[in-house]
Amino acid sequence: RRDGLAGVHPYFYPPPFLLGAPIAHVPLTTAYRVWFWLDLVLSVVSVAFLAAAWGRGRPAVPWLLAIAFGGATAVANNHGMGQMNVLTLALVAGGLAADERDRQGLAGVLLGVACMAKMSPAFFVAWWMLRGRYKAVGAAVLTGVVLSVAAFAVVPWSVQWHFYTGVLPGFGSGDYNGLSVPIGLFGNHALADLYNILLPGDGRTLSPVARLLSTATLVGVLAVMGVAFRGPSDAVARSGQAAAVAVAMLIVPVYTYEHHLVWALPAAVVVVDAALSGRLGKGWLVLALACFFVVAFDLETLRALARAAGDPWTRVLAESKLWALIGLFAASLRLGASYARRPEGT
């Protein structure tokens, strides 16, 4: 642009996120630096909340979380690009910690705020419904309503209605309110990218058949988790369930970029911990470590390796993080179902 700044992507976050619009009056360089350091603080907060949720009786969990968040390039990518994944992860992690202490109201409020900043944490609301955590679900929904009403100060009803009826439905095809980034961009780790390769559309939205497959994947993933997690569980199994939900948030959208992969780190942690403690077999340990290595691997280095390798290895390496996500999903799903029919304390 004439002012020397790069153009920005179209807005496709929930309307209450615009309550942060006054930040636009802060000079860009200052805002970037403040957000960068805030992201660093929120990374520590996320680790602390996840340790509080899952660390009781599992002394390795806090250390594994610190290693995972300190060693994954996705965390640095999130901070460098000024993304909001760590903010929403901190809110979700706080909600999980509160829920483990049966503070459902607080848990719901935190998750409700996360959902109004980024839609995908709504997967956790569905998980709570499956587990009968209705107070937490109600608090999350009420929080969303309150924030939406508060957003009327900056976003009229007509615009909010347009988002939920016009913009949001387009997410399933890759139409993110006019986002011009191609689906096939190197570094898109979503399963929809594979569908787009096999059944190409116009490059920025899925073809009708690919969209049907993507929708079927969403329904299938939710159904598999619903069946696997339907019974009683203990704290270790619940950590696996929450981790599986977080990874599912990465597999089923049309776009999953490097900075989104911070959501996959908890899955590697809980599976490694479960394997080290004997809850899962050592094969799951090998799988989780291998998947974490791939997820944490530097994207630019991976891109260079893919270019140098040539076909068919170029495509194999390009999709390697997707396969790692699928592996982490399978491992955390197994952990989440490990004691699904064994009540806690027995």
Residues 6+ apart with CB under 8 A from 7: 1
Q: Residue 344 — pLDDT band, cuts 50, 70, 90?
A: very low
Q: Which two tokens stand for residue 308?
A: 């140098």
pLDDT tens-digit readout, 234-291: 999 999 999 999 999 999 999 999 999 999 999 999 999 999 999 999 999 999 999 9
Buried/exposed code over 220-230 (b: 16+ C-beta within 10 A; e: otherwise): ebbebbeebbe
Residue 315 has pLDDT above 90, yes or no: no
pLDDT band, residue 163 (cuts 50/70/90): confident
- 70-122 pLDDT tens trace: 999 999 999 998 888 999 999 999 999 999 999 999 999 999 999 999 889 99
Query: Rounded distance, CA 93 to CA 54, Å?
Result: 10
Give domain limits for the chain: 15-336
- 343 with 232: CB under 8 angstroms? yes
- For residue 145, give both structure tokens: 């309503």
